[in-house]
Structure 1
Amino acid sequence: MGPLSGVRILDLSRVVSGPFCSMLLADLGAEVIKIEEPEHGDDSRAFGPPFSGGESAYFLSVNRNKRSCAVNMKAPEGAGIVRRLAAQCDVMLDNFRPGAMERLGLDHRELRAANPGLISCSITGFGRTGADAQRPGYDLIIQGESGIMDITGDPNGPPTKVGTSIGDLLTGQFASQGIMAALLERARTGKGRHVDISMLDCMASLLTFNAGIYFTTGKSPQRRGNTHATIAPYETFRASDGWLNIGVASDKFWQLFCGVIERPVLAAEPRFAKAVDRVRLREELVPVVAEVIATKPRRHWIDRLSKAGVPYGDIRSVQEVCEAEQLTSRGMVVEMQHPTAGTVRNIVSPVRFDDGSFDDHQPPPLLGQHTAEIVGELLGMSRTEIDALADRGVLRCNDLEVTHG
């Protein structure tokens, strides 16, 4: 049992940001009921290739530890079922555009009137207020609008997105943090709260020292490639057989690094002794370092940097990371048996507790796999009622689920 055991979450979200949020909470022990549209389900079920057993690898990566309940919320009866479920949940999560929940009759204020302890969380692209509130928010769009793309990539190249859906994933993390804070507050007050999460706000918060540079100087930082604005040398270097990262992040490390590359003249050079001067003279210093690094293979430098205690890192492929002993030995890669996709592997939540008491994970659900189970348990519906609603397209029940009579 995890620390969130006993917390029930009604997840109306789809694609990445919301599902990632609810998966993080499910990894911590929360019960997550994933509401899906009956015909096609979560949009990401169609994202591919690749597919495994008819299931999208994309969907399988962000939906473990959940139960799928397929309900047509656009039908009055379907919206009524969701309202009844919300009355028995601790948290409700959505990532519709502003106004959509109200049009569905699922306004968080009305739901909290029936369930005063309900915590609701809405994820939007640009926020529930402001001139851009109704704009659709997708990861690529938000990466550009937030300034992240403008400071990412080669200085002489185009703006570049981060290689993963960082806008979606970061937003999911902030949403889970807001929900947990609201749960902690509710334990003290007994009252629910609405959490408003904007993808743009989340991504803009990553600007930190870049925004600080602008606020201090009035000048917008430019793309720096793999260099750092306020530390040098702190970047990617080419060895004779490939690339590695070296981070000389302090004056102590500078002295150690000069020993690694066997350049006592650099260590004794007063112009480079202080971090601020190494940054100021970066154009002179970095080419000298790069020339030295290029003379030996990566393993030579990695061995020497490791022995000296200077921060360094190899540059690994996704395959190498997924198979890395450092991750697999810590249980960061789990295997789950899926009804149609076979063995599904995920990289799991990095949160670790000392007793390791909730390391068992359930595979992502089939569409509607638990519909009858959920409405039978929580709403007391008979199988006859469930089948009648399924015949009218209000519900979808998968044949593999546990049924209720």
Structure 2
Amino acid sequence: MGMALEGIKIIDLSRVLAGPFCTMILGDLGAEIIKIEHHESGDETRSWGPPFTSGESAYYLCANRNKQSITLNLKSEKGKEIFTNLVSSGDVVVQNFKTGTLDKMGLGFEQLKASNPKLIMASITGFGLNGPYKDLPGYDYIIQAMSGLMSITGETEGSPVKVGVAIADVLTGLYTCIGILTAVYHRERTGEGQEIDISLMDCQVSSLINVASNYLCSGVDPVRMGNQHPNIVPYQVFPAKDGELVVAVGNDNQFRRFTKILERPDLANMKEFSTNEARIRNKKQLITICEELLMMKTRKEWKEQFDREGIPSGPINTIKEMFENPQVKERDMVIEMDHPSVKNLRLTGSPLKLSKTPVTMRKYPPLYGEHTDSVLLQMGYSKEEIADFKLNKII
């Protein structure tokens, strides 16, 4: 089968997570990804550990398969020339330098499109290319704080808490993918390239979804609710006999089935609990009752009963338990790849299951600068020129 993005060449100047995650997804879909790394240090995440496996950091490995790695000194004139030549035959540039950095180097969108009018450039920044914060650096943690996400995450009486993964980076990577695919489609119809201005802050604000809407409609600033839901009850973590599980009762019909499983069908007929609106008003009373009842059985026992009746529920798994789950295994969410130094390299699989153009795992996360020579040779540079580039610290 063919690959969906076969024939699309992406020059990846990004580091750390949002950009590399985006380009890995595009690489999984068949795009050619050329990852350009600093000629002396490379992507910062190569040193983010432990854990390391055979010298490769787990963090770097998570977001860099299906790419080629070359090193390039973009502060040198020859390095800029090589980069411009590479871009002239490419389709997309992805970069996450601070606002204006590439412009000052003579490698901004307006400058590069002179040699490639159809160029698409995705510029990922903390706060965007305009606005009072445009020149500030933006790390995921800072964005989680400033976007309001941390203010609604954590227990009511506790401190604000960040999400357990760099969620602003992940969401920005996904939004950037959407922007790039849209721009490629637009170019197919019009022949026009364009710049995509995408920021971590914008993506995280957008991703507040119903919580943001609750505020915009009511004017009431949302507060932390721990594991509870602001609009649905019961919808939270409950203790069982052997641990904790999540129960998510999404509507009144589910609540009636839920109370039958708990052997308290009378609860669904009480005016205090008969509708979701009533349950919201009497939340504390209902949660206390549910906590006492759910403590009577194990997580597995409740899960089996809830599954039979279509009540959304699930145990709070550790990462180890998640990867041992038969559903996760069946869906190929763990893959193995050959690697020159890591024996039996295991990576998280792709959630994209396409029937006609499936994702392919063609290349392991590249070693630092592994493809510098081969890419430059393909561009037409001679072995002697490449040796000279190395001598003069251009690559």
TM-score over 0.5 for the pair: yes
Q: Secondary structure at the match of 2:90?
A: coil
Q: How far apart are residue 129 of structure 1 and its match?
A: 0.8
Root mean square deviation, CA, Å: 1.1
In structure 2, relative to structure 1, the CA distance for the partners of 1:358 and 1:297 (3 Å cut) is closer
What pairs with 1:22-171 in structure 2 (closer than 5 Å)?
A: 22-171=23-172
8 Å contact 2:306–2:313 — kept in the other structure? yes
Amino acid at match of 2:96: N
- What is the alpha-carbon distance in structure 2 between the residues aligned to residue 299 and residue 329 of structure 1? 20
- What is the alpha-carbon distance in structure 2 between the residues aligned to residue 384 and residue 145 of structure 1? 51
Q: How far apart are residue 348 of structure 1 and its match?
A: 2.3
What per-residue deviation string (whole Å, max 9, x for no partner) do you get for residues 341-375 of structure 1? 22221112211111464433321001111011111
8 Å contact 2:337–2:364 — kept in the other structure? yes
Amino acid at match of 1:265: D
Q: How far apart are residue 143 of structure 1 and its match?
A: 0.4
Amino acid at match of 1:381: Y
Amino acid at match of 2:284: E
Match of 1:387 in 2: 387
Match of 2:216 in 1: 215
- What is the alpha-carbon distance in structure 2 between the residues aligned to residue 30 and residue 173 of structure 1? 16
Match of 1:7 in 2: 8
Report how many aligned residue pairs link the two structures: 394
- What is the alpha-carbon distance in structure 2 between the residues aligned to residue 17 and residue 316 of structure 1? 26
Amino acid at match of 1:145: M
Moved over 6 A (4+): none
- What is the alpha-carbon distance in structure 2 between the residues aligned to residue 197 and residue 292 of structure 1? 48
Match of 1:296 in 2: 297
Q: Is 350-359 or 64-73 further displaced after alignment?
A: 350-359
Q: Is 98-107 or 318-327 further displaced after alignment?
A: 318-327
Q: Secondary structure at the match of 1:197?
A: strand
What per-residue deviation string (whole Å, max 9, x for no partner) do you get for residues 74-105 of structure 1? 11111111111010100001000001111221
- What is the alpha-carbon distance in structure 1 between the residues aligned to residue 82 and residue 365 of structure 2? 23
Q: Secondary structure at the match of 2:113?
A: helix
- What is the alpha-carbon distance in structure 2 between the residues aligned to residue 252 and residue 357 of structure 1? 38
- What is the alpha-carbon distance in structure 2 between the residues aligned to residue 217 and residue 134 of structure 1? 33
Q: Percent identity?
A: 42
Match of 1:333 in 2: 334
Q: Secondary structure at the match of 2:182?
A: helix
Q: How far apart are residue 111 of structure 1 and its match?
A: 1.0
What pairs with 1:356-395 in structure 2 (closer than 5 Å)?
A: 357-378=358-379, 380-395=380-395
Structure 1: tracts of 5 or more residues without a match:
396-405
Amino acid at match of 2:297: K
What per-residue deviation string (whole Å, max 9, x for no partner) do you get for residues 240-267 of structure 1? 1100000110010010001110002212
Q: Is 176-185 or 130-139 further displaced after alignment?
A: 130-139
Q: Secondary structure at the match of 1:342?
A: coil
Match of 1:310 in 2: 311
8 Å contact 2:66–2:361 — kept in the other structure? no
Amino acid at match of 1:141: I
- What is the alpha-carbon distance in structure 1 between the residues aligned to residue 325 and residue 90 of structure 2? 39
Q: Is 176-185 or 75-84 further displaced after alignment?
A: 75-84
Q: Secondary structure at the match of 2:247?
A: strand
- What is the alpha-carbon distance in structure 2 between the residues aligned to residue 347 and residue 191 of structure 1? 35
Amino acid at match of 1:346: L
Match of 1:275 in 2: 276
8 Å contact 1:60–1:344 — kept in the other structure? no
Amino acid at match of 1:260: I
Q: Is 30-39 or 349-358 further displaced after alignment?
A: 349-358
Q: Secondary structure at the match of 2:344?
A: strand
In structure 2, relative to structure 1, the CA distance for the partners of 1:357 and 1:212 (3 Å cut) is closer
Amino acid at match of 1:393: K
Q: Secondary structure at the match of 1:367?
A: coil
Instruction: State the TM-score, normalizing by the size of structure 1.
Output: 0.95
Instruction: State the TM-score, normalizing by the size of structure 2.
Output: 0.98
Amino acid at match of 1:160: V
Amino acid at match of 2:328: L
8 Å contact 1:151–1:221 — kept in the other structure? yes
Q: Secondary structure at the match of 1:82?
A: helix
What per-residue deviation string (whole Å, max 9, x for no partner) do you get for residues 109-163 of structure 1? 1211211111000000011111111111111101001100000011111000000
Amino acid at match of 1:213: N
Q: How far apart are residue 268 of structure 1 and its match?
A: 1.9
Amino acid at match of 1:61: C
8 Å contact 2:4–2:30 — kept in the other structure? yes
- What is the alpha-carbon distance in structure 1 between the residues aligned to residue 41 and residue 111 of structure 2? 29
Amino acid at match of 1:204: V
